[in-house]
Structure 1
Amino acid sequence: MSSEIKLYMFQTGVLKCKENNIKMNASLDPYEIPVPWYLITHPKGNVIIDGGNAVECATNPIEHWGGITEVYWPVMTEAEGCVNVIKSLGIDPNSIKYVLQSHLHLDHTGATGRFPNAMHIVQRKEYEYAFTADWFAAGGYIRKDFDRPGLKWNFLEIEGNEIYDVFDDGVIKMIPTPGHSPGHCSFLITLPQDGSILLTVDAAYTTDHFEDKALPGFLASAVDSVRSVAKLREIASVHDALVVTGHDPDAWKKFKKGPEEYYK
């Protein structure tokens, strides 16, 4: 457990897809997107956000994900799996206190069930929808990732302008941003030196989406998606936050990447 607050940005490789999977009504050209996840060290316990793809995608994506691999093809190494990254940092996996889930889509559940002492925190409506998703969304939820015996869950029920402050100290705030999925959350991270960093996750796939120039290629509600982006833009403005969108291949290159670099 670290006594210093730091934010590390990692990725579990990339997903190969088409541009219109990421930007609605865009081309059918091949498109490759990063799959980010985040580690926050904190004196009260280490925290993982999402965890990216499950490590099984490094060796047999079709067996683990099934037919959705015809749309999104994961390319990653076992070393990029979140548990292996944590170990490479010299951090004991038993020290992970929380796994925070923005939502439960397949490229965000790489940490579920991987850390023995972790409490998993997610919106209740997201968890329930993951088991009962509509036909167009069902392929995005890999039940074997999150339906595991013995997991500890904290189900949030936050709406509108409510937030969930993980440590009640302003460092990690979960913000409801439905649209991409019914129970999606984004994160406002406030660090001692680098200030505020807004992790939109899939509430805004790309900078174009964040700037109202494109809708995401996948969503549960277009109306909620647009309203959540508007809320995030206001939060970013008020907090003068660095904005990190969910899967933007160009913007992602500009951020500090772990393990060598981090925000503090």
Structure 2
Amino acid sequence: MFKNHRALAAVIALLSIPAAAQNAKQAEPPKSLRLYVLDCGKITGVNGDSMGFKPGELKTADMITPCFLIVHPRGTMIWDTGEIPDSAFQSGVTPQKQGAFTVDRPLLPQLAAIGYTPADITYLALSHYHGDHVANASLFASSTWIVQKGDRDAIFAQRPTNEKKLGGVGDPAYFAALKNSKTLLLNGEDHDVFGDGTVVIKFTPGHTPGHQSLYLKLAKTGPVLLSGDLYHYPEEITYKRIPSFDFDKDQTAKSRAMIEDFVKKNNAQLWIQHDYTAGSKRKIAPEYYD
């Protein structure tokens, strides 16, 4: 039964992909690590109180929600998949809006423009299960899913019994095709994706039970740490603020202390993924960081 459902989901996903995305000219493997930043939308109307801030502490409460393609000589990985699914763009309406979310362009055509389709993606990794990071996750069901046990358990838990405790889990439809995907299940541990120290998933629980961040060792740009939602704003570092809705605020504080020490020791740049000001200045695909 599941195989039939999965096949149907794959057909629906394929039909929702524009022709340009399906016919992408395959990219050549690079000689060194590359990082592509993909435009996956923005969030407006955020309540600073829910993020733990007092009036006047935030420069802006608006957020961006990038996705990232990591291209290694031995494979590829997509990191986070956006806030509105590509299937929403079938209506022909652009931009797409869903509540506080606004997306100007779907994900797959952006990948196609640099020579990739979902079939070319070796690994899928999500920083965590919240809806603004996972909307296109099922499009990558043929990839190996790298996920922490704490988040995977929450994603496929019975609901609504524990919905309040595990609040914020994305729409189950976003994960449906992943349930029986090839999965690398991590149990509260870091993971060196390609075995050479250049792409390392860091276990940073707190925001969700299995939250993870991503360390990249880029030859020219230097080391970069993608935060996931360990932070949403740089002011969280300045004022030591933690969102009221984090799964475990004490864990968040410990994860932040660990990452701040890690960033300092490795002389890495901390990229707060939702940081509207800094993120808006970064290069967007087809440009890349290497």
Corresponding residue of 2:251: 224
Percent identity, please.
26
- Partner of residue 222, structure 2: 195
State the Cα distance separating 1:16 from its structure 2 match.
2.1
1:35 matched to which residue of 2?
65
Residues 22 and 191 of structure 1: is their aligned pair in 2 closer, same or farther, counting only changes over 3 Å? farther
State the 1:116 CA deviation.
5.3
Q: Which runs of 5+ in 2 are unaligned?
A: 1-27, 92-97
Note if contact 1:119-1:154 (Cα within 8 Å) is conserved in structure 2: yes
Opposite residue 179 of structure 1, the aligned amino acid is G
Equivalent position of 1:102 in the other structure: 127
| 2:117 paired with 1:52 | no
Counterpart CA distance in 2 for 1:126 and 1:196 is 26
Structure (1 or 2) with the larger CA radius of gyration: 2
SS in 1 for 2:226: strand
Give the AA of the match of 2:270.
Answer: V
In the alignment, what sits opposite 1:250?
A: 277
1:64: which partner in 2? none
**1:6 paired residue number:** 34
Structure 1 or 2: larger strand share? Answer: 1
Q: Secondary structure at the match of 2:227?
A: strand
Q: Residue 209 of structure 1: SS of its match in structure 2?
A: helix
Shift of 1:158: 2.6
CA RMSD of aligned residues (A): 2.5
The corresponding residue for 1:15 is: 43
CA distance in 2 between counterparts of 1:58 and 1:258 reads 20
8 Å CA contact 2:110, 2:285 repeated in 1: no
Q: How far, CA to CA, are the matches of 1:89 and 1:197 in structure 2?
A: 22
**Does the CA-based 8 Å contact 1:181-1:219 persist in structure 2?**
yes
Q: Which runs of 5+ in 1 are unaligned?
A: 61-68
Write the mapping of 1:202-213 to structure 2, written as runs, cut at 5 A.
Answer: 202-213=229-240
| Mapped pair 1:263 → 2:289 | yes
Answer whether contact 1:17 1:31 (CA < 8 A) is retained: yes
- In the superposition, the TM-score normalised over structure 1's length comes to 0.84
2:164 partner amino acid: W
Q: TM-score, normalised by structure 2?
A: 0.77
Per the TM alignment, residue 21 of structure 1 is displaced from its structure 2 partner at its CA by 6.3
Output aligned runs, 1:113-192, within 5 Å: 113-115=138-140, 117-132=142-157, 133-135=162-164, 137-148=166-177, 150-159=180-189, 163-192=190-219
Amino acid at match of 1:135: K
Secondary structure of 1:138's aligned partner: coil
Q: Indicate which of 201, 204, 214 corresponds to 2:241.
A: 214
